[in-house]
Amino acid sequence: MSGQAIVVGGGIGGLAAALALHRIGWRAVVLERAPELREIGAGMSQAPNAMRALAELGVGEQARAVGVPTHASGNLRTPDGRYLQRARLDDPTAMVAFHRADLHRVLADAVPSGWIRTDREVTEVRQDGTRASVRYGETEMSADVVIAADGINSAIRRHVWPQTPPRFLGRTAWLGIAEVADLPGSITLGPGGYFLIHPVARGRAYWAYVTVADAPGVRCDREKDDLTRRLHGWHDPIPALIEATPADAVIHIDIRDLDPLPGYVRGRVALLGDAAHAMSPDRGQGAGQSLEDAVVLAASLAGESSIDAALRRYDTERRPRTQAIARGARADGRRTTSRAAYRAMVTMIGLTPAPLWRAGIAADGNATWRWRPPALSPRAG
Ligand SMILES: Cc1cc2nc3c(=O)[nH]c(=O)nc-3n(C[C@H](O)[C@H](O)[C@H](O)COP(=O)(O)OP(=O)(O)OC[C@H]3O[C@@H](n4cnc5c(N)ncnc54)[C@H](O)[C@@H]3O)c2cc1C
């Protein structure tokens, strides 16, 4: 079965969807509202499940070439610098860290030329049973399927499920990229917040500090100074990383997610990525799940005898998994930023035998990471 799709949104999820469709012989256009295609933000990591999805999309090698292995899950510390768990640098690690823009570019470069159209903000979606159409500006465009990959504030989701606004989770985060000497990656657990470091290129590191917040949108004029004060006394290289980040490049965001949707498909409209299941970042799975979505959606379209059956299969396969991961991420975030649970958490991690800890972060060490993609038949490269 072949067909045509409109993908709304040119983030990691939308580009992965276009690429997956290309691999099964469908045609697609990606409508992106930004004037230029680019990924905003700092860094991210991808776990083995996501790396397998990238390989199935045909860009596994290209992604590995711009990513850096990170030992963040193996190096757990306390603010005074003590190691609760420690990875050896020659330990194999299953996690790969990226500058967001690098991973985004790998996907964009693999999408057939002419498919991506920027400066197109979709404001409306309609459908009549066998076709779906979108409107941007004065233009209307229709296709067999519309894939909504337009992020956590998805305009398409508001049309499909009007009562599903994102929810503030009582946590906030500062992020940045700093030019520093090579670092191995680590997570420092403090009372009420944690600091994450991933290497993202030679001499460059991504950092993030996640902590609790009473209300969303609380900002100050000097975010970098505020953060420096909050992390005063934390071990090296944390102060140096913040110091090395230009003040105007410190990003401050609130952590939000979506309550579980009753479905990811309505008629010929399918939600994908954050539009369907935006999640707390604490498991590093949001973008990874959008890559999985893309592969499963395309495999369903290639494998089923009708588009409607394929979309049903996509919803049935993806909803339970992504919603369980989102639930877990929400709980992890609450636990790792809880002052009350801090002592017990640190004691428990410190007492876990190192081989047991390492087994949990091996490539097949947990149920989320064990996922394997369905095969897509490669078409023209
Ligand atoms: C602090 C933080 C850390 C994270 N760390 C990780 C991590 O380590 N690993 C991981 O896998 N995930 C991580 N995530 C999650 C990850 O960032 C998201 O899950 C992922 O970027 C979602 O991709 P997406 O393509 O679905 O949505 P988005 O990246 O939001 O892309 C949506 C795109 O749609 C466009 N758009 C929006 N509306 C319209 C419209 N109406 N018309 C046309 N275009 C539109 C936007 O401009 C944008 O380009 C993290 C998230 C946060 C907040």
Digit-coded pLDDT (tens) for 183-242: 999 999 999 999 999 999 989 999 999 999 999 999 999 999 999 999 999 999 999 999
Distance 34 CA to ligand 1 centre (A): 13
Per the domain annotation, does 381 fall within a domain? no
- Give, using CA atoms, the residue closest to atom 50 of ligand 1: 281
CB 205 within 8 A of CB 241: yes
Q: Cα 38 to the chain's mean position, in Å?
A: 15
Q: What are the DSSP calls for 155-190, one per residue? A: HHHHHHSTT---EEEEEEEEEEEEE-S----EEEEE
Per the domain annotation, does 343 fall within a domain? no
Per the domain annotation, does 234 fall within a domain? no
Taking residue 123's Cβ as centre, other Cβ atoms within 10 Å add up to 12
**pLDDT (tens digit per residue) in 56-105:** 999 999 999 999 999 999 999 999 999 999 998 788 888 999 999 999 99
Please give the tally of structural domains in the chain. 1
Distance 268 CA to ligand 1 centre (A): 22
Amino acid at the residue 245: T
The reply to whether ligand 1 has any atom less than 6 angstroms from the CB of 44 is yes
The reply to whether ligand 1 has any atom less than 6 angstroms from the CB of 8 is yes
Distance 359 CA to ligand 1 centre (A): 30
Q: For ligand 1, what atom is nearest to the CA of residue 208? A: 1
Distance 271 CA to ligand 1 centre (A): 13
Per the domain annotation, does 358 fall within a domain? no
Given this model, what pLDDT does residue 380 score?
A: 41
**β-sheet bridge partners, residue 99:** 43
| Token pair in block for residue 316 | 């049935």
- CA gap 243, 226 in Å, rounded: 12
Q: For ligand 1, what atom is nearest to the CA of residue 175? A: 1
Distance 149 CA to ligand 1 centre (A): 9
- CA gap 204, 6 in Å, rounded: 36
Q: Which of the listed residues 7, 15, 29, 33 should we mutate to test ligand 1's pocket, taking the one with most ligand atoms within 8 A of CB?
A: 33
Per the domain annotation, does 36 fall within a domain? yes
Q: For ligand 1, what atom is nearest to the CA of residue 255? A: 53
Q: Cα 58 to the chain's mean position, in Å?
A: 19
- CA gap 134, 241 in Å, rounded: 44
Distance 161 CA to ligand 1 centre (A): 19
Q: Which residues of the chain have pLDDT under 50?
A: 379-381
Given this model, what pLDDT does residue 378 score?
A: 52
| Token pair in block for residue 318 | 């993806």
Give the domain extent around 129. 4-70+95-167+258-336
What count of Cα atoms within 13 Å lies in the side-chain half-sphere of residue 285?
Answer: 29
Per the domain annotation, does 126 fall within a domain? yes
Per the domain annotation, does 285 fall within a domain? yes
- CA gap 51, 299 in Å, rounded: 17
Mapping DSSP onto H, E and C, the string for 16-41 reads: HHHHHHHHCCCEEEEECCCCCCCCCC
Per the domain annotation, does 365 fall within a domain? no
Residue among 245, 233, 231, 256 nearest 200 (CA): 245
For residue 161, the domain's CATH number is 3.50.50.60
Taking residue 65's Cβ as centre, other Cβ atoms within 10 Å add up to 10
